[in-house]
Amino acid sequence: MSFLTVRDLSHSYRGARRMWGRAPDLPVLQSLSFDLAAGERVGIVGMSGSGKSTLLRCLMAMGRPQSGEIRCNGRLVVMGRPASLRWYRRVVQYVPQDPVASLEPRMTVAQLVAEPLRRLRIDCDPQSRAQEALESVGLGSQYLSRRPDELSGGQAQRVAIARAIAMRPAFLMTDEPVSGLDMTVRAQVVQVLRDLSQTHGTGIVMVAHDISVVAALCSRTMVMEHGRIVEDRPTSEILKAPHHPHTRQLLEAAPPLVAAA
């Protein structure tokens, strides 16, 4: 059975109000259906406005689709009160695009990584689990007492990843996780994600507009355009023989690519 099952997912943004009435609703997701298997590394790529970030919000139960459903191990995922989603947050975690904005500046790194463990009532020693998570992303104990303004961009992103993996989730949902980093640090963060997946069997969904980043990590790629999935195939096949014009456009804009194993 699939870990996540998405069926007929649709969502529209309400049209802007005008003097003579309201503009038509803008479709953002149009009847999407797909499965995610445990441990898969899947990229979701597309130009701005393709619907990929809206899809990620729905997968994280941070937005409510207008129709369709998402199931995790057969259980329906419905946006609601935090307590009602506690079971889902324990198995699916989120890595934001802007790690600095997501980290409370008054808290230490140790407090930041341990805080979700307490909030989600994980039965463990939060401090030792936080240190273990930081070591998994290549940050030693000297970072435990630092605060976000004492971290570089790459270090802040690693803390955001550590904060997510401290729960030992089955899946990480990542939103443009390396978009603000230079090329060297970007490669390091992608390597951290790959190592985590290979070592712990953690599945990863990576949303990105840059197909080169997805190609470096994900064995499967979904290409989105105008709220639809226009290709969903192994990354290596997409790189060799893209079927859709939008995929070819993304590849033409990217540097030379090598598909992830």
In a domain, 94, yes or no: yes
In a domain, 43, yes or no: yes
Q: How many domains does the chain have?
A: 1
Q: Is 58 helix (H, G, I), strand (E, B) or coil?
A: helix
Q: Which domain holds residue 93?
A: 4-15+23-100+170-252
In a domain, 107, yes or no: no
Q: What is the mean pLDDT of the chain?
A: 88
pLDDT at 40 over 90: yes
User: Can you spell out the DSSP letters for 107-157?
Assistant: S-HHHHHHHHHHHTT-SS-HHHHHHHHHHHTT--GGGTT--GGGS-HHHHH
pLDDT at 110 over 60: yes
Identify the weakest region by mean pLDDT among 63-72, 180-189, 229-238.
Answer: 180-189
The burial class, CB within 10 Å (0-12 / 13-18 / 19+), for 14 is exposed
pLDDT at 25 over 80: no
What pLDDT shows up at residue 202?
Answer: 94
In a domain, 134, yes or no: no
What pLDDT shows up at residue 26?
Answer: 74
pLDDT at 99 over 90: no
pLDDT at 92 over 90: yes
In a domain, 105, yes or no: no
